[in-house]
Amino acid sequence: MANVTPLGDKIIIKRDEAETKTASGIYLPDSAADKPQQATVIAVGEGSVNEKTGKRVAPQVKKGDKIIISKWGGTEVKIDADELLIVSEDDILAVVG
């Protein structure tokens, strides 16, 4: 993957693969599968700037973290052959593990 650095509180993530089979064994076509809400952090910006103090606030996630994101957040981008998502830190709901 190309060397890409997000700005400010932006975070580049890669969604986990969508489930292609239900728990009962039914295979789902691509059009029926929901986009996964779990992802892996690929790159992290420097963090946001606190409006009151003017100091930079470090992000709460780091490269390699497994996260859960909001269903409709972020901007989809294609870098080289990778389909990635750029989200703000506010779009991240939790860190897994």
- As a whole number of angstroms, the distance between CA 14 and CA 92 comes to 13
Asked whether residue 62 is assigned to any structural domain, the reply reads: yes
Domain enclosing residue 80, as ranges: 10-17+31-96
Q: Which residues partner with 43 through β-bridges?
A: 12
Q: Give the dihedral of Cα atoms 94, 62, 8, 10; nearest 10 deg.
A: -50
d(CA 46, CA 38): 22
The model's pTM is 0.79
Domain membership of residue 88 (yes or no) is: yes
**15-60 confidence digits (pLDDT tens):** 987 666 666 777 666 665 567 789 999 999 999 999 999 999 999 9
5 inside domain? no
Residue 38 lies in a domain: yes
User: How many separate domains does the chain show?
Assistant: 1
Written as six digits, the tokens of 47 are 């963090």
Q: Residue 31: its pLDDT value, please?
A: 60
Tokens of 73: 């957040």
Q: What are phi and psi of 56, to 5 degrees?
A: -80, 135
Tell me the CATH number at 74: 2.30.33.40
- Span 54-82, pLDDT tens digits: 999 999 999 999 999 988 889 999 988 88
